[in-house]
Amino acid sequence: MSYRRTSTGVNFRFTLDVHLCSSNPFAVASSGMFVSLSAVMLKLCEPFLDASLSKRDKLDPRYVLQGGRLDFSGLTAVFATSEELGKWVDSRNHSRAEGYRQIQQFGEQEEMRRLQAEEASTSMMNSSQSHPLRNIASAIDSMKFTFICECFFLTARVLNLGLIKALSDFKSLLQKLSRRKDDLAALKNMRGNGAPPSIEQDIIQAEAVVEQLSQDRLCYDSQLLKDLDLLQEALSYYRLMVVWLTGLVGGFHMPLPVPCPMEFASMPEHFVEDAMELLLFACRIPKALDGVNLDEFMSFIVMFMGSPHHIRNPYLRAKMVEVLNGWMPSKCTSPTLVSSMSSLFEGHHLALEYLVPNLLQLYVDIEFTGAHNQFYDKFNIRHNIAELLEYLWGVPSHHKSWMQVAVREEKGAYLKFLNLLINDSIFLLDESLKKIPELKEMEAQLADTTAWSRRPAQERQERERHYHQQEHIVRIDMMLANEDVKMIQYTSAEITAPFLLPEMAERIAAMLNYFLVQLVGPQRKALSVKDPEKYEFRPKELLAQIVNIYVNLDRGDSQGIFARAVSSDGRSYRDELFTEAAGLLRRIGSLPMQMIEAFELLGAKARTQAQEMMDAEAMLGDIPDEFLDPIQYTLMTDPVILPSSKTIVDRSVIQRHLLSDQTDPFNRSLLTVEMLIPDHELKRRIDDYLASHSKK
């Protein structure tokens, strides 16, 4: 940070040279200095951080665009791209900003001349009265900003470089300390048994690193964790920030205006991100949120977390969910906070109407973030969403909202949500169940201590490291899979219609059949490990949940759709598995007898449907190729034409594809459900073919 004094006052210019910071930390202000400056700036803001935020009308978004004391031009905007921003900024604003800079430069020149020749200062000042810049100064009077405005935006940048940066550094330090402790423990476990001679020196060095990082942690603890006043002052500041930002889109009203107002879209992204980072940190500190008004924060999060048309960065919207996750009453550290958070979730008017729909929307949106690691990121984000949704399902008002969304978006957003939920369940469970036999084999090798000790030390170290890595992966995958299966279980007890749609029934049936094979089929013994709980693997509970889902969907089906879908799964359906699973459940007693009997009844229905389908196939004989779906090679019942490739497919098959990928599978051009063209002539011929063969 540098200071430049001019005739118009002190001009603060904050610069952050990343390369300079990384190469020479002594060339820039320290983190401690910026945290202290953060405290000073918050004190300057204190007079206009009153409960009613009565001075927020003094804040002018033009300050960000005009480039006065601070240059915001290089910062990522919350929604607008640099090209959009460049087109939007009025050319008059550029000329006024240039005029403002000319006034500053002229003033500096005047001051220098006055110091050099005081006797001539009077004539110079008189001449300046007729100087052409006087007209420019008059023209840009409207660009002068109040102290409150300047102080507000200065504080935003100081906090970003100071307090918020320190919180980020603290988080990184804790992660690094945790990794180094794990490394130290691994080194100590290598002692003896043919360990290399350098092991003791490696342990000493690792202990020194852990000790230094622990001391650094204590320094952060004393500065950040103990100063509750600083945290609460910063929370008051960001309360004003979110209220002011929301005012740029018309206030706390839904739905949000589309397109996004450029005044909001052009604001720096870190204005929002810093507020969320502070809330995340504060909810983990006892008493940090005591007495803090969180209503506006809740409103802001509910409004924007489900809107990619206002906040472009999906990770920033995911961070809002992380904040809400930290606010759940079950995670609060004091009875007072439990009560206030329960009231916040269960009594906030915007949350009651929009929280569940926006969480479901974000669950879908996060599938594609544009980042190189988007595939794995989405599971962590959906974990936070799943925990929130489970809590909200048990709150009557939110439960009602969920039911309304399921009906309203049965063939839209809710169907996409279910499709992704099933996708995740299949992937996570499948990956976990494939790795468990490998872990079982490794457990057996470790148990044979004599044979294990004869292996070279480096080999043991590498194999143990791989084992612990796989152990961690399986534990995380199983935890996430358990959440997904549990969500399908409790929602399917009341919401069955979307699961029974043509594009979804076979999908959910195939998933359930596949995992029934894994849990009760011949290969289930391969999943028997010494301590399954440490992998979050609870096969008895998982089997009970899967059977529960089977029964839920069958009870909600009055047309035999689900039983037909179960029996048509050529990959995993086995009639004997239903008998085997029912017998196992009776022995372990994990489900009521009534549900086990309902499951057996579904098995009987599926058996009947399977026989009927076999009879129908025999009756139809060789079906003409033109009547077969080109993707699944099954008889089409509702043929449609894809407008781009002109390929004819079955409607249910292509709709299932479009839930995950809105492109034509034959040429990758854009395709939506609305673009499908019914082939009435082909459908008539298929119906005639079926009718003629049914008479034989």
Could you list the mean pLDDT of each consecutive 10-residue stretch along the chain, which spans 696 residues?
Answer: 34 37 62 89 94 90 82 89 78 49 56 56 42 40 78 95 92 91 81 70 89 89 83 96 96 93 94 97 87 94 95 95 95 86 94 96 86 78 96 96 95 93 94 90 86 81 85 93 96 96 93 95 85 90 96 94 93 93 92 95 94 81 88 91 94 90 92 93 91 72
Helices (H), 535-642: 539-555, 561-567, 575-588, 593-620
Per-residue burial over 393-410, b if 16 or more Cβ lie within 10 Å, else e, is bebebbeebbeebbeebe
Round to whole Å and give the CA distance between 548 and 493.
8
According to CATH, the topology of domain 625-694 is Herpes Virus-1 (3.30.40)
Residue 18 has a pLDDT of: 38
pLDDT of residue 649: 95
Contact 222, 278 (CB under 8 A): no
What phi-psi label fits residue 663: left (phi over 0), alpha (psi between -120 and 50 degrees) or beta? beta
The 3-state secondary structure of 349-364 reads HHHHHHHHHHHHHHHH
Take residue 206 and report the two structure tokens written for it.
């690792």
Q: Is 98 helix (H, G, I), strand (E, B) or coil?
A: helix
pLDDT score recorded for residue 69: 80
For residue 457, what pLDDT is reported? 75
Strands 677-678 and 639-641, sheet pairing: antiparallel
Q: How far apart are CA 202 and CA 146, in angstroms?
A: 59
Q: Cβ of 495: how many Cβ atoms within 10 Å?
A: 19
What is the SS3 assignment for 77? strand
pLDDT for res 322: 96
Q: Residue 247: what pLDDT?
A: 96
> Tell me, what DSSP letter sits at residue 329?
G
Contact 14, 70 (CB under 8 A): yes
Q: What is the DSSP letter of 226?
A: S
3-state secondary structure 629-644: CCCCCCECCCEEECCC
Under 8 Å between Cβ of 399 and 406: no
The Cα angle at residue 350 between residues 340 and 360, in degrees rounded to 5: 100
The helix-helix angle for 147-161 and 31-45 (nearest 10°) equals 150
Residue type, 631: I
Instruction: List the domain boundaries for the chain.
Output: 1-293, 419-620, 625-694
Q: Which tokens is 480 given? A: 């996430």
Calculated CA dihedral for residues 492, 496, 498, 500, nearest 10 degrees = 120
pLDDT of 592: 94
- Residue 6 confidence (pLDDT): 34
Give pLDDT, residue 695: 61
Looking up tokens 């034959």 gives 666
Cα gap 369→590, rounded to integer Å: 40
Comparing CA positions, the residue from 152, 131, 142, 143 lying closest to residue 59 is 152
Specify the pLDDT at position 356: 97
Residue 3's pLDDT is what? 32
Residues in the chain: 696
pLDDT at 101: 54
* Structure confidence at residue 453 (pLDDT): 79
Which pair of tokens denotes residue 35? 């945290």
Cis peptide before 259 (omega within 30 of 0): yes
Residue 113 is predicted with a pLDDT of 62
Terminal alpha carbon distance of the chain:
90
Residue 48: its H or E element: none
Closest CA to 390 of 498, 496, 480, 255: 480
CA 670/CA 222 separation, integer angstroms: 56
How far apart are the C-alpha atoms of 101 and 110, rounded to whole Å?
Answer: 14
d(CA 648, CA 685): 14
Strands (E), 222-316: none
How far is it, in rounded angstroms, from Cα 66 to Cα 72? 9
